[in-house]
């Protein structure tokens, strides 16, 4: 069901003591009830984070996952392993996974299948590079990422999917898509979903915006009709800033 969501992608930041510190600071904040809040610490801290947040509504997500169930995949972590430490949400397709670790749409489609088979919720990320936007190809690129990465799923499975539009040129750069640019793309995504699936799917899915969301710009971005929240990188590492972003929905 469509809802307001703010998710913090901690990336490769925070050891275990910093994780406890950040979560303790977050638990002291006054957070609005209208928003589902998710945090994604590194693998090593997922179990501890989950336990630290048991008395809250905040969910813990993994930042990645392997598509196979078990086996000789040195350095990888499976869906069942995540679930065994209480993690029910996984971020897939982040632009850093695509660009630095070579994750393709086809690989992501396999990861999507595995996550759904394991009844996990997916935060599926996609977004164009600066060169795509300059060339005016951003809608085509986004459509293709969705087409090849996630449009093969069954209609019912959309209940377990959150989309996150993250223009690569806005991630960690201080450069933000304008609220109108975000709205334009989110509207395009919803239209594409109703064309490929139906209006139930397009109206029920939550579509987050990501890329340099800060306390100072969150309200304007989240105020747009088709923007249901944000996937936050840098600003999620500071409890006060992250809370201000969440409370931008108030």
Catalytic residue list: 94, 166
The structure tokens listed for 190 are: 């919803």
Number of residues binding to ligand PGA, judged by CB under 6 A: 13
Residue 231 touching ligand PGA (CB under 6 A): yes
- For residues 129-168, which are near ligand PGA according to CB under 6 A? 166
Phi, psi of 125 (to 5 degrees): -100, 150
Residue 232 touching ligand PGA (CB under 6 A): yes
- Supply the DSSP symbol for 70: S
For residue 237, with 0-12 CB atoms within 10 Å meaning exposed, 13-18 middle and 19 or more buried, which class applies? middle
Distances (CA, A) of 2 to 15, 26, 182: 33, 24, 17
Is residue 230 within 8 A of residue 187, CB to CB? The reply is no
Residue 205 touching ligand PGA (CB under 6 A): no
Q: Closer to ligand PGA at the Cβ: 38 or 201?
A: 38
The structure tokens listed for 34 are: 């209208």
Residue 5 touching ligand PGA (CB under 6 A): no
Least distance to ligand PGA, CB of residue 90, Å: 14
Sign of the CA dihedral with 61 first, then 86, 73, and 163 last: negative
SS3 141: helix
Residue 93 touching ligand PGA (CB under 6 A): no
Distance of CA 201 to the CA centre of its chain: 18
Q: Rounded distance, CA 145 to CA 197, Å?
A: 16
Least distance to ligand PGA, CB of residue 156, Å: 27
Q: What does the angle CA 211 – CA 129 – CA 216 come to, to the nearest 5 degrees? A: 20
Interface with ligand PGA (CB under 6 A), residue from 92, 171, 177, 205: 171
Least distance to ligand PGA, CB of residue 54, Å: 25
Interface with ligand PGA (CB under 6 A), residue from 42, 93, 210, 229: 210
Least distance to ligand PGA, CB of residue 184, Å: 19
Residue 233 touching ligand PGA (CB under 6 A): yes
CB-closest chain residue to ligand PGA: 233
Q: Closer to ligand PGA at the Cβ: 9 or 36?
A: 9
Residue 216 touching ligand PGA (CB under 6 A): no
Which residues here bind ligand PGA, judged by CB under 6 A? Answer: 9, 166, 171-172, 210-213, 231-235
């Amino acid at each position: 069901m469509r809802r307001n969501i703010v998710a913090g992608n901690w990336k490769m930041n925070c050891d275990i003591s910093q994780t406890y510190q950040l979560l303790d600071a977050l638990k002291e904040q006054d957070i609005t009830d209208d928003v589902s809040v998710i945090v994604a610490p590194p693998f090593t801290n997922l179990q501890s984070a989950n336990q630290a947040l048991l008395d809250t509504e905040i969910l813990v997500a993994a930042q990645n996952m392997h598509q196979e169930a078990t086996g000789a995949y040195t350095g990888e972590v499976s869906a069942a392993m995540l679930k065994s430490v209480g993690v029910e949400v996984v971020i897939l397709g982040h632009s850093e996974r695509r660009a630095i670790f070579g994750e393709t749409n086809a690989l992501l489609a396999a990861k999507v299948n595995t996550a759904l088979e394991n009844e996990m919720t997916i935060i599926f990320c996609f977004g164009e590079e600066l060169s795509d936007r300059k060339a005016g190809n951003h809608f085509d690129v986004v459509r293709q990422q969705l087409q090849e990465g996630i449009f093969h799923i069954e209609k019912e499975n959309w209940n377990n999917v959150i989309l996150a539009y993250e223009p690569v040129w806005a991630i960690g750069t201080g450069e933000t898509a304008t609220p109108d640019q975000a709205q334009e793309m989110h509207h395009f995504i919803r239209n594409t979903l109703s064309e490929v699936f139906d209006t139930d799917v397009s109206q029920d899915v939550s579509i987050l915006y990501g890329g340099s969301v800060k306390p100072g710009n969150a309200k304007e971005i989240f105020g747009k009709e088709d923007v249901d929240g944000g996937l936050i990188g840098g600003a999620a590492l500071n409890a006060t800033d992250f809370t201000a972003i969440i409370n931008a929905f108030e």
